Structure 1
């Protein structure tokens, strides 16, 4: 968006801090705000039939979400939860609609975002249909590691947010046993390991070649 429009949007947003496990937006609630992650990580979760939560995606700094619920005037579809202490920006629906109707650049930007999201979903489905699970998981770890990348890519890279093998299984819609088999391979190849509950990418260049 033009810098003047972006500045006006930011001026209307409020910022707040959330602790680990805090619910930012809850599924079924009226969509009264849209959000942007300023720092930290936010998980978007759905619900299994047995009541357990399923990880859908992870939002990182800069990501915005909940615009589709706002524009379609429906409740939030999913629940967003802070994975680590995070800072969030929020834009109230009143301000959203005033800005939306005042600046054509906003609906144009949202249209591009939605089109890109649809394209990404098709690409992700194609990858899952045509690529081995090992490569998909490696690609995921590479993406996470690059977000947490320090100055020296040859050193082990700690992923500074928590997720489990069950979360990975939910992301790729496979069994936990299938994920465990691939994680064992990565550990045996000294590519990825878990230390004190934290995932560590041991060799990012080699992992890139795997993905």
Structure 2
């Protein structure tokens, strides 16, 4: 559901500083849509704080979760580079603070610093590799393993650890989000999450997920994709 992608951080300091100097800050409240499918690309974004949903559109008109952007993640570069509208919708999952680089500034910096297209090429290659890994997992892993991988990954990326070893994931994610992401029915996810609850692996607290045994979830998922 998440990655640690942050191609701006990989750039030499002088290039990164030149980009940040041209960025503006945008604050988006939870639930507000940032860009919709079909909107014109106006620039790229980096999440400074909070979390953003990337949503696709099912044939029946229902929006489904594709992935989550976390602090440090960048998005919006692809439609700018491809000179096309957004293919997906981005919505603030929590209150979000973003930095935005306008399209004109993006292209000026892209032409000035060779390091930028190099870093973007690595990002796009890594994204493609992750897509292949996820496709392989969906075809070879059982559903409970996939759900365990999701929970272990959430713990690694945004979990709040407690002294007893449990980890709280303070994101308003529901079972339907896991079903959409894994491309399975909600009933199937409900059954497997129920089994994980019965085994004492997870529970819910005020609408958030409490993971009681992250290492157990990692083992259940064969540690595949948890990093």
Fold in common (TM above 0.5) = yes
Deviation at 1:151, TM superposition (A): 5.3
SS of residue matched to 1:31: coil
TM-score, reference length from structure 1: 0.96
SS of residue matched to 1:117: helix
- In structure 1, runs of 5+ residues without a counterpart are none
Asked if 1 retains the 8 angstrom alpha-carbon contact of 2:160 and 2:168, the reply is no
Asked if 2 retains the 8 angstrom alpha-carbon contact of 1:153 and 1:204, the reply is no
List structure 1 segments (4+ residues) > 3 angstroms apart after TM superposition.
Answer: 149-155
Structure 1's 74 and 177: CA in aligned 2 closer, same or farther, altered over 3 A? same
Over the aligned positions, Cα root-mean-square deviation in angstroms equals: 1.3
SS of residue matched to 1:163: coil
Per the alignment, residue 132 of structure 2 pairs with 122
TM-score, reference length from structure 2: 0.89
1:7 to 9, 13, 17: 17
- In structure 2, runs of 5+ residues without a counterpart are 1-10, 222-227
CA–CA distance in 2 between the matches of 1:107 and 1:45? 26
SS of residue matched to 2:61: coil
CA–CA distance in 2 between the matches of 1:61 and 1:7? 18
| Aligned pairs, number | 211
Question: Which whole-Å deviations, capped at 9, do the CAs of 1:92-126 have from their partners, x for residues lacking one?
Answer: 00000000011110001001100111111001101
